[in-house]
Amino acid sequence: MPSDSLSNERILIVDDEPANLKLLDRMLGQQGYRNRILIDDPRQVVDRFREARTDLILLDINMPYLDGFQVMEQLMALNDPLLPPIVILTAQHGKDFLLRALTAGARDFITKPFDRNELLMRVHNLLQAQLAHRLLHDQKTVLENMVRARTEELYRTRLQIVQRLGMASEYRDEETGSHILRMSHICALLARALGWSDDQCDLILNASPMHDIGKIGIPDSILLKPGKFEPQEWEVMKTHAVIGAKLLEGDDSDLLRMAREIALTHHEKWDGTGYPNGLSGINIPIAGRIAALADVFDALTSVRPYKKAWTVEAAWDLIKENRGKHFDPDLVDIFEQQFPAILEIRERFAESSAH
């Protein structure tokens, strides 16, 4: 008798001869296997399998409509990771025939007329093997889900850290939360227009709020000065890019790597006159080029303690004038194409709707 764990396993028996079906059904029933599905038309096999996955298939080869090889071909096409073992029922003993059956996907074969003990032993062994395979597959799935959940938890933790650092930089230099929201969403919009994947767009959306985190290290007397900087004050102010990069370095996550890259390079200029490293052209990382354009546009059109907001038209004129100077010319072209969507972002995250 099979163990309790095997007696409920589903066994699909396919044979166009009613006498064979009746014989196999009686043998397996007497042995204690309770879930037996009998099919005399091979065209029904795939549909019945889809309705309820079975744990073993006993399959005749010579049948009308579809032979056993064609049925196996249909089953293999399902690409089911838990496809049950298939046992061929055949009266043929030729080596070439049996090799063909095994190559087609059969796990074993039983010759007709059936030897009861041989049949029951093969059924028992294959059901045990399938049960072990299913348990291993389930365990693998559980472990994969645990790893995925842990990875998502780590990502959320990093994201929370980044968001809180972004909030700290806002409080430090009196930039508003709305500016951070607009700037980061414009970055994601431009990245998507460049053909970035959803994951990459999500990265720049969440990394770009860190662009000015280095201002935490700038003295209030300079950072909050309402008037024009003296030359030595401007040199101190420019160090915020390097300070920000240092604050964000040392982590290998994609999120903080991109945040560091943006913090360090969003004040570089296409013509090489930017800071801190005087990079030019495509030597400036693309994330930094995107952040530079989004940040300047929104900063110009936002109110600050030391200036009034520019009109959208005036800010756009300045960007066009600096195409190929301050800004990547291709990005300026994309910016123009996406201008209606950028204005929608400005409206969606207006100052009155700051979170």
Q: What is the pLDDT of residues 178-196, one digit of tens each?
A: 788 899 999 999 999 999 9
Contact 45, 12 (CB under 8 A): yes
3-state secondary structure at position 10: strand
The pLDDT assigned to 245 comes to 94
The pLDDT-based confidence of 355 (bands split at 50, 70, 90) is: very low
The pLDDT-based confidence of 60 (bands split at 50, 70, 90) is: very high
Whole-number Å distance between alpha carbons of 333 and 93: 73
More confident residue, 97 or 235: 235
Question: Domains, the chain, ranges and CATH?
Answer: 4-138 (3.40.50.2300), 174-353 (1.10.3210.10)
Q: Give the position of tokens 């972002």.
A: 345
pLDDT digits (tens, 9 = 90+) for 262-320: 999 999 999 999 999 999 999 999 999 999 999 999 989 987 666 788 999 999 999 99
Q: What percent of the chain has pLDDT over 90?
A: 51
Residue 107 sits at φ, ψ, to 5 deg, of -95, -30
Residue 18 makes CB contacts below 8 A (sequence gap 6+) with: 40
In the predicted model, what is the mean pLDDT of the chain? Answer: 88
